[in-house]
Amino acid sequence: MRSLSIPLLAALLAASPALTQTAALAQGDTLAQVKARGHLVCGVSGGVAGFSMPDGQGRWHGLDVDFCRALAAAIFDDPDAVRFIPQSSAARFTALQSGEIDVLARNTTWTLSRDTAAMNFPVITFFDGQGFLVRKSLNVTAVKQLDRATICLQQGTTTELNTADWFRTRGLTYQVVTFANSEQTLGAYESGRCDAYSTDKSSLFGERLKTAHPEAHVILEEAISKEPFAPGVRQGDDAWRDLVAWTHYAMLDAEEAGITQENVDRLRGETLSPDVKRILGLEGKYGQGLGLTGDWAYRIVRHVGNYGDVFARNLGDGTPLKIPRGLNALWTNGGLHYGPPIR
């Protein structure tokens, strides 16, 4: 003991200044840090089909993944300059706050308490609502028929709160069983522990595909909540917040202007309307304000595509999910997506 204590003491004292330095990087200019590092670090969910999921070769796919790729394309002209780190729903906010990730694109619902307590939500990238998956054999068509049913939920999500509110305000009762992750929740539902499995509707399409007999389950039409999914950034970095917001707006404006991944290079050589020229960076220097080059939006569309391209590739009719555009159509088609002008 005696022979140990002095070196031990010295080691402890020597380590203490090191402790004080690690977290300091979390503050300040995120864009400068990302540029210096050479790649973006993006927090994703890692297991939600259509939003973020690695394929057999380990390449990431999904709407959230493509959002991060668009951000990387705007900064580095390289959609692969991203490192994806899967985040549990419990660890995601701390990971962002501590500087472990630059942006959290993890189908996270924008709520007031999260906005004020933990982070900023620059823009809504997907409009969702909470839905229910039930067995067809139950012949349930509306959520209110689930009175007295047992419902499987994933804990730590807004789903837990919405369900409690919805059933209580209608004077209905239910039994809840909650699990830490979606695999356990779906497993419990499928093995007969629950009558219904409730989570964001967009996830239910993918979850249903994971069951042994997808055709035996039905997703109820009704949504019982508003779930606006938004990427999260740290508070106190307005420039980074602007860049994240405008990455999404660029994809919306491109879709509205008819610029797609497929035609963007061809369009560049043609005579164009001024608004298309501004998006493609052929007129004005709009990228400068974001700390980027003039062709930032062109890079996004060329490497990743416009919002419609991304939606179709990850969620739309061409995919097994077949999620309808619905609220996620452009405002010109009756949806909620509306990009402010680039000018």
Partner 1 sequence: MDRASGRTRPRSGGRGARGGRRVPRSPRALALQALVALALAALAYVAATNASEKLARQGITAGFGFLGRSAGFDISQRLIPYAAATATYLDAFRVGLLNTLLVSGLAIGLATLIGFAVGIARLSPNWLVRTLAATYVETLRNLPLLLQLLVWYVAVRVALPEAQRPAAWGGAYLSQRGLVLPRPEFSGVAWLVPAAVLAGIVLSGAWARRRARRVEAGAAPGPIVGPALALVLGLPALAWIGLARAGHPVPVAWPAPGPYGPEGGLGILPEFAALLLGLSTYTAAFIAEIVRAGLNSVARGQGEAAAALGLSRAKTLALVTIPQAMRVIVPPLTSQYLNITKNSSLAVLIGYPDLVHVFMGTVLNQTNQAVEVVAITMAVYLTLSLGLAALMNAYNRRAAPGMR
Q: Which residues bind partner 1 (CB under 8 A)?
A: 2, 5, 9, 12-13, 16, 19-20, 23-24, 26-27, 89-90, 93-94, 97-98, 114, 117-118, 148-150, 155-157, 160-161, 163-165, 168, 174-180, 184, 187-188, 191-193, 195, 234-236
Q: DSSP code of 155? A: T
Toward partner 1, which CB reaches closer, 157 or 319?
Answer: 157
Contact 255, 323 (CB under 8 A): no
CB atoms closer than 10 angstroms to residue 288:
11
Toward partner 1, which CB reaches closer, 99 or 308?
Answer: 99
What is the rounded distance in angstroms from the CA atom of residue 216 to the CA atom of residue 210?
12
Provide φ and ψ at 20, rounded to 5°.
Answer: -75, -15
Toward partner 1, which CB reaches closer, 93 or 249?
Answer: 93
Sequence-distant (6+) residues with CB within 8 A of 299 are 73, 74, 77
The number of helix segments (H) and strand segments (E) in the chain equals 13, 12
Beta strands, E only, the chain: 40-44, 53-54, 60-61, 82-86, 103-104, 126-128, 130-135, 150-154, 175-179, 196-200, 217-219, 227-229
Shortest separation between residue 192's beta carbon and partner 1, angstroms: 4
Toward partner 1, which CB reaches closer, 90 or 336?
Answer: 90
Shortest separation between residue 321's beta carbon and partner 1, angstroms: 26
SS3 41: strand
Shortest separation between residue 253's beta carbon and partner 1, angstroms: 32
Toward partner 1, which CB reaches closer, 114 or 226?
Answer: 114
Shortest separation between residue 69's beta carbon and partner 1, angstroms: 27
Shortest separation between residue 184's beta carbon and partner 1, angstroms: 7
Shortest separation between residue 30's beta carbon and partner 1, angstroms: 13
Radius of gyration for the chain, computed over Cα atoms and rounded to the nearest angstrom: 23
| CA distances, 307 to each of 40, 100, 193, 225, 258 (Å) | 20, 27, 39, 24, 11
Shortest separation between residue 135's beta carbon and partner 1, angstroms: 11
Toward partner 1, which CB reaches closer, 9 or 336?
Answer: 9
Q: With helix as H, strand as E and coil as C, how does 89-141 read?
A: CCCHHHHHHCCCCCEECCCCECCHHHHHHCCECCCCCEEECEEEEEEHHHCCC
Toward partner 1, which CB reaches closer, 195 or 255?
Answer: 195
Contact 119, 96 (CB under 8 A): yes
Toward partner 1, which CB reaches closer, 70 or 119?
Answer: 119
Shortest separation between residue 307's beta carbon and partner 1, angstroms: 30
